[in-house]
Amino acid sequence: MKKVYLFCSQGMSTSMLASNMQGVADKHNLPMKVAAFPYGEIGEIIRTDRPDCILLGPQVKFMYEEIVNQYGSEGIPIAVIDQGDYGMMNGEKVLKTAIKLIKSNK
């Protein structure tokens, strides 16, 4: 089971996208867990639940470098969700991005 975790300021708008992505994964029988969290919990979640991919909501992209500096050595791919895909809540496209990140990380 691959874990794709989305982080944003509150975890609210990304939870809609996460649920959309989970629906796409389920429809294609992909063994994936997609969930959303407030970015303040990122350190604890990496320690306790170790995601396979971390996606940041566009509203926290200013945190990207800090997060990469802090957790990049963990070997977990980290990316910012495309603003357009986020705005359209395009779960399929964002899920494909996550899968590519996980595959290229091996």
Residues with catalytic annotation? 8
32-38 vs 78-80, strand pairing mode: unpaired
Residue 58 carries which DSSP code?
G
Q: How far is the C-alpha of 30 from the C-alpha of 53, rounded, in Å?
A: 15
Distance from chain centroid for Cα 2: 11
Amino acid at residue number 84: G
Distance from chain centroid for Cα 56: 6
